[in-house]
Structure 1
């Protein structure tokens, strides 16, 4: 899955998505997670936990889970890996996949971060949302993707919201709350 709950497209569709134009950001973007939002613990059967917004729609997936409320989302997925990717590998492999399979993706940062669960990689980018099924309208999203590694597992935590929404504190709370069980 990509930002905004997007499905990874079939091979012939990827080039069309890569050519998609970025939609303009909203002037007064919806999607701020309220400062009063309550967070609850989500414990995954795949060996980790983190805090997620209470009341958001949860969808369990074979590789993790997603939590969505209107235009905001949290997607957590697990894959097998030998190690945490290096920054260079993240830039060449992960970013190229994001750009090829996402909607008008523009990566602005790929950096190592030290979090309570250990070293991680943070990828910051913007993208278009999936088109609305009724109106076909899209929203420009800002995204943060964290890569965590331990014992052969690579967990990807993806946070997204309309570009310009003020979710810095809430995203920091979620990324810092990630723990291995």
Structure 2
């Protein structure tokens, strides 16, 4: 049974990080200052983590008025924002946001700036890879990391999440696609499908 609290808590860490990276303009800037997060320790992953996207999951096209599209899971709770949208199901989520940028990010620039802000703003963030990847939409930066979820409002329980963030750039626009799920969930094929489906319009 889906509970509103889980949906809300699963998307908060992603939104808070994105706010600090300048990709979300609708959140309060004080989210970038998380003193409790700085000393937070990584929680242990679930032994049998929930969060596998079923092989039978249907994907539908999401087209942004900002000039891009991608496939997202059908039936996930959608929230529209001024800079993009999020799609959440329990502890799984997809967040897409757009911001202005002077140039395309590189591996070095992402490590020096983007990753540093990600580690500072997130909850026990541990980055394991920053690479340039070739996708149908062109070259993109892929950042792989783990983090803690926001504490559940009722139980105060946290879940260790695995995250993939893709940065797409064209004509002064930087789109960040964030995919997250409980660590150990098997979503490799579904995440590849979504990241490869991204298209500029």
1:5 paired residue number: 12
Superimposed CA distance per residue, residues 55-94 of structure 1 (whole angstroms, 9 cap, x where no aligned partner): 0000001110000000000000000011211111100111
Distance 2:139 2:133 in 1: 6
* Structure number with higher strand proportion: 1
On the 8 A contact 1:5/1:75 being kept in 2, the answer is no
Map residues 136-155 of structure 1 onto 2, 5 A cutoff: 136-155=156-175
Distance 1:11 1:5 in 2: 10
On the 8 A contact 2:32/2:121 being kept in 1, the answer is no
| C-alpha RMSD over aligned residues | 1.4
**Structure 2: gaps spanning 5 or more residues:** 1-9, 17-28
2:181 aligned residue (161, 164, 171) = 161
**Structure 1: gaps spanning 5 or more residues:** none
2:92 aligned residue (72, 76, 83) = 72
2:73 aligned residue (36, 39, 53) = 53
Map residues 83-102 of structure 1 onto 2, 5 A cutoff: 83-102=103-122
On the 8 A contact 2:86/2:94 being kept in 1, the answer is yes
Distance 1:106 1:84 in 2: 24
Q: Which runs of 4+ in 1 moved over 4 A?
A: none
1:14 Cα deviation from its structure 2 partner:
2.6
Map residues 95-134 of structure 1 onto 2, 5 A cutoff: 95-134=115-154
1:24 paired residue number: 44
Distance 1:14 1:122 in 2: 25
2:21 paired residue number: none
Query: TM-score scaled to structure 2, two decimals?
Result: 0.86
How many aligned residue pairs are there? 179
* Structure number with higher helix proportion: 2
On the 8 A contact 2:78/2:86 being kept in 1, the answer is yes
After superposition, the Cα gap between the structure-2 partners of 1:12 and 1:161, relative to the gap in structure 1 and judged at 3 Å, is closer
1:179 paired residue number: 199
Distance 2:158 2:33 in 1: 18
On the 8 A contact 2:93/2:179 being kept in 1, the answer is yes
Distance 2:32 2:169 in 1: 31
Query: TM-score scaled to structure 1, two decimals?
Result: 0.95
Distance 2:139 2:84 in 1: 21
